[in-house]
Structures are given as C-alpha cells and as structure tokens.
Amino acid sequence: MGKVVVVENVTLDGVMQAPGGADEDARGGFPYGGWAHPYADRVMAEAMGKGMSEDSGMLFGRRTYEQFHAFWSKQTDGNPYTEVLNRKRKYVASRTLAGPLPWENSSLLPGDAADAVAALKRGVEGDLVVLGSGELVRSLARAGLVDVYTLSIHPLTLGTGTKLFAEGEQAYGTLELVEALPTTTGVIIATYRSIA
C-alpha cells in the first residue's frame, strides 16, 4: 500500500502560497511571491534531492501540475530535476482538465480527489508525493489520507496568504515528529508522521 507524503515550504505563520516566484500565485493580491528563495542552501538542496531520487509517484492539483509542466518539462540547462520529474509517474486531481495530459507519464484521477487517491494508495507501492497543491492537500488531510508531512519551515512571518491548514476547519489529527534537520539559513526541515 502506498503512502501520501506532503512536501511543502511554509512560513512560521503557516503560509504556503507562492514560495517559488513573484508570479507563481498572486491570488488574493498576494504580494510576497518568491519568499522562500533567500533561504535556499546546500542542506535544503541535498534533502530535497534525496527525496526526489526515491522511487515514488507524484500527486498534483491542476494549478500546480500546470505550473510544474510549463516550467520543468522545458528546462534544458542540465539541472538534475527535469529528468527526474519527466520520468516520474504523475497523478493529477482536477475537476476541469480532460485527458490526455500533456506531460509524459501523467494520468488524470477520475471523480472525487479523496476517493481517487484512496483507491490509488491501495493499488501502488511506495510514496505518492504532493508538492504545493494546497487545495488537494487540505482535501486529503480532511479525509485522513496524508501519512507524512515534510515541511520546510522558514523563519519568517507574512501575515497574509494561503495557509497549509485553513482556519476554521476541523482538526486533521495528531502528528509525531520523526526527523528535524536545520539548514544554514534557519529553515527547519521537519518530517511528521500521522498517528491519529
């Protein structure tokens, strides 16, 4: 049986919106896109590279899938990520996309995302890694389908923006810290396992 592993960049106040670039996600007038870049270092690159090298599939919501495909599938600078991302099996939860999907090794999940991911977990071995895809993460958390959270917790607060866990929603359960790795820039890469 597979495991759902959520991998996210978050601020101390829980914001996950647009860590990668100014124009990544400006919904709601979010002015801080690209906030994670100043904190990148060798420790973080090695930790994320290790995770990408493992035999796993990927789960995406529509918005994140389209952004990743638009950028990573076209990189030709010899970076280590493009080949890995192209090769990995990608599953996309979307109510608006229709197949076939444009990025190689991509499959559209039919119907309700939580139901489709629950069925997928039963039918695969290894991890199903979710990057970004906040709406998908929250729906999987509500359904009790997230097994592991790997959070790169950045030492800043933004005070606005989409949060990993929305305010006013039900409790998602109890987590157990299984690893904490500090970086040279003050980011803590914390891995939590769902236990209830």
CB atoms near residue 153 (< 10 Å): 17
Q: Give the burial class of 181: count Cβ atoms within 10 A of its Cβ; 0-12 exposed, 13-18 middle, 19 or more buried.
A: middle
- pTM of the predicted protein model: 0.93
User: For the chain, which ranges sit under pLDDT 70?
Assistant: 53, 170-172
Name all domains of the chain by residue range, CATH numbers in brackets: 3-194 (3.40.430.10)
For the record, the structure tokens of 16 come out as: 């996950």
Contact 57, 129 (CB under 8 A): yes
Helix (H, G, I), strand (E, B) or coil at 56: strand
Query: What are 9-61's pLDDT values in tens digits?
Result: 999 999 999 999 888 899 999 999 999 999 999 999 999 888 776 778 999 99
